[in-house]
Amino acid sequence: MKQIPFSPPHIDEDIIALVSEVLHSGWITTGPKTKEFESQLTNFSG
């Protein structure tokens, strides 16, 4: 079986700031960032 090499995640300051923004908003699972993600995913996947 071929092994897939481990690659650490790329988490830069921009990503940390976005996550912090969501956590401070109080909207973790159903807020505006979730709606934005769902919309972008829909556009991407058709």
pLDDT at 2: 92
Instruction: Give φ, ψ of 18 to 5 degrees.
Output: -65, -45
- pLDDT tens string, the chain, 46 residues long: the values are 999 989 999 999 999 999 999 999 999 889 999 999 999 999 999 8
Q: Give dist(CA 9, CA 25) in Å, integer.
A: 24
pLDDT at 28: 85
Asked if residue 33 lies in contact with residue 27, where contact means CB atoms within 8 angstroms, the answer is: yes
Locus of tokens 């109080």: 26
- Residue ranges of domains in the chain: 13-45
